[in-house]
Chains A and B, each alone.
Chain A
Amino acid sequence: MESIYLVVIILFCLGLYTTLTNTNLIKIIIGINIMDSSLVLLLVVLGYKPEGTAPIIDQQYSIIVDPIPQALALTAIVIGASITALMLLLTIKLHRNYNTLDISEIRRLKG
């Protein structure tokens, strides 16, 4: 059980590291998506019970996994996918305007 949380944390930190250190726009987006996926994984793990069945009650089951985190995970997935679509659109736009994907070369605005 412990090892799954370790996986979640490693994924989360990996995503954060990718986002903060890379200069490539696409890689930044990938980093954010990794972070998002790690949280979805965390949500799914939270609801898990050993030997539990899926929360569809078509007969009497004794152990059923927690349905709330699954519903929350669905919401998180939809929102994450939406933001990704938007970020990819902006990446295409930036690439067309600046002819590069390197964020250090796209710096017309300054602090």
Chain B
Amino acid sequence: MIDIIWLIIVPLLAGFSLFFIDLYLPKLKGIFILSNGLLIFLLSISLLIKVIDHPLIYNLGNWKQGLGISLIVDPLGGLLAVLITFISFIILSYSLSYIQINQLKYYTLLFLLITGMLGMVLTGDLFNLYVFFEITSIISYVLVAFNKKDIAFEASFKYMIIGSISGILILLAIILIYQSTGTLNLAQLVITAKNIPLKLKQVIAVLLLIGFGSKFALVPLHTWLPDAHSTAPSSISALLSGVVIKVFLYALLRVLFVIFRVEELLALKLNLVFLYGGVITLLTGHLLAYRQNNLKRLLAYSSIAQIGYILIGIGVFNAAGLEGAIYHIINHAVVKGVLFMTAGILILKAKKKDIADLKGIAYQLPLSSFIFTISALNIVGLPPFNSFISKWILTTAALKAGFIIPAISILIGSLISLSYYLKIIILFYTKVTEKINIISIPYQLQLGPLLLSLSYLPLAFFPDFLLLFIKKAPLFLLKPINYHNILLGGEKWLGLFG
């Protein structure tokens, strides 16, 4: 019997013991890092298979429910855990040839970042969520400054100021929740949250929205993101843009749906906040991305825009919208990971960051440019790629629920993104006479993005495979009583329409 807790212990111990491995067995470091990455990936897959039918609970220290801290995993948590460990494994292998300096500290922090994200996804305790939230945030601040350039310090400081204010707001919200209910266990909160007066609930919702919103770059709280994600090393940008902001989004979703019932959320008009916040985020992200000259900044703005799509899906507040949103979270995490990793390779080769300087690079690095092209077309949402499916689900869900403007803006956003990605792709494949000075780069660098695309792209032809897992998730979000029933170990889950 392999328990949930190993998923947290393994990366945590790996991060702590890397110092000793470096000291006594420096030759085994690469193998140690990769095998740990693979191990947590396999663990998360076994967890997902178990959780998909029957959500699990793990009581730390054998305390009865509510006395201690519990880990509670429902299908959404399991799905995100697999996503985190998969992309982390690819990024660990990519970093082995990408990061040349300060390797010890880099991998220590990276393993602890994985721990933090997994903790946020798996935990079933409100204050524990805050602790892991801070772990994830602090490592993000540090890794942004990893290059030790003055711009990196500036971006990191900006991120840190906004991040710590948002952390304080979330702590205030958690204190208010604890004060009015007396519980910190998320599953018990489903029941006890009825005690919170409605007026206070509004305050809590606003605090959570601002707190987590500034973490996943809800416009107008997005100003730190392009700086932070473009100055970080490319491997870190891939992780930050692909997974970390999604985990913060997950935390907001989880806490909101636990504390509020769906009717209350609708009464507070929070669905409109999500929908039109999503529309504004989407359009702002795309329009600002269109104006960028720096490749990584453009990708960072595109990430903001993709968050907009996901928010629209959440704002629809029904099963279809949530399915689309979760599908798009997975699509964007994988594809943006690939895009940032290949962008890192191209920039390393050309030694320049501006798009105009990368002219004709496709003839020097055919494989990486091809992967970049495919992924760019994928994220735009052209058929037959993965993002087309998720955007299709999102649009139909919005249309069915009667929200015309969001549905149209999804279309407009995709057109804008098509225009700026096409501009880059055409530039890549333009013939140039003078060659970009050739810096040889290790071929292993291309393995990571190649593996990620090869394993993910075929899924576009079997959309039902992913939907099989995704379809279970809204059950525990929209009917939080199901989430509470995990505590009792019940076999039957209430249907969405029951």
Question: Residues on A close to B: CB < 8 A?
Answer: 12, 16, 19, 25, 28, 32, 35-36, 39, 42-43, 46, 68-69, 72, 75-76, 79, 82-83, 86-87, 90-91, 93-94, 97-98, 106, 108-109, 111
Contact = CB atoms under 8 A, between A and B. Distances in A.
B151 A75 contact: no
B280 interface: no
Contact of A90 (B138, B151, B153, B223): B153
A19 B153 contact: no
A80 B458 CA distance: 46
Contacts of B158: 109
B127 A75 contact: yes
B171 A90 contact: no
Most A CB contacts (10 A, CB to CB) among B142, B145, B175 go to: B175
A36 B178 CA distance: 17
B227 A109 contact: yes
B131 A75 contact: yes
7 contacts: A32-B165, A90-B156, A94-B150, A94-B153, A94-B157, A98-B150, A109-B158
B301 to A, nearest CB: 10
Q: Is the interface of B mostly helix, strand, loop or mixed?
A: helix
Given A86-B160, A87-B157, A111 B223 contact: yes
Contact of B154 (A35, A36, A94): A94
B179 interface: yes
Interface of B: 127, 131, 134, 138, 141-142, 145, 150-151, 153-158, 160-161, 164-165, 167-168, 171-172, 175, 178-179, 223, 226-227, 231
B153 A39 contact: no
Contact of B151 (A68, A83, A91, A108): A108
Given A19-B165, A86-B138, A39 B171 contact: yes
B132 to A, nearest CB: 11
B168 A32 contact: yes
Contact of A109 (B141, B151, B160): B151
Given A83-B160, A90-B153, A109-B151, 19 more contacts: A19-B161, A28-B161, A32-B164, A32-B168, A36-B168, A42-B172, A75-B127, A79-B167, A82-B138, A83-B134, A86-B142, A90-B160, A93-B153, A94-B153, A94-B154, A108-B151, A108-B154, A109-B158, A111-B223
Closest 4 pairs (CB-CB, A-B): A97-B150, A109-B227, A90-B157, A93-B153
Contact of A87 (B164, B167, B227): B164
Contacts of A42: 172, 175
A109 B155 CA distance: 8
Given A72-B127, A75-B127, A32 B161 contact: yes
Contacts of A19: 161, 165
Nearest to B142: A86
B153 A35 contact: no
A65 to B, nearest CB: 15
Contacts of A75: 127, 131
B153 A97 contact: yes
A87 B151 contact: no
A45 to B, nearest CB: 10
A88 B113 CA distance: 22
Nearest to A33: B164
A46 B150 contact: no
Contacts of A12: 172
Nearest to A12: B172
Nearest to A106: B154
A20 to B, nearest CB: 9
Contacts of A108: 150-151, 154
A51 to B, nearest CB: 21
Contacts of B155: 109
A97 B223 CA distance: 22
Contacts of B142: 86
B131 A43 contact: no
A75 B168 CA distance: 13
